[in-house]
Amino acid sequence: MEKDLSFCTLLDYYGAALTERQRELLTFYYDDDLSLFEIAENTGISRQGVRDAIKRGEAELLRLEDALGLAKSHAETRREADAIANAVDEIASHMPKETADALRSLSARVSALADR
Q: Is residue 100 part of a domain?
A: yes
Do 54 and 18 fall within a single domain? Answer: yes
Confidence of residue 107 (pLDDT cuts 50, 70, 90): confident
Q: How many domains does the chain have?
A: 2
Asked whether the beta carbons of 40 and 11 are under 8 A apart, the reply is: no
CA dihedral over 11, 12, 16, 21, signed as positive or negative = positive
CATH of the domain at 43: 1.10.10.10
The secondary structure of residue 33, as a DSSP letter, is -
Q: What are 81-97's pLDDT values in tens digits?
A: 899 889 988 998 899 99
Residue range of the domain that includes 62: 6-68
Q: Is residue 1 part of a domain?
A: no
Residue 38 CB-density burial (10 A; 0-12 exposed, 13-18 middle, 19+ buried): middle
pLDDT at 116: 77
Q: Is residue 94 part of a domain?
A: yes
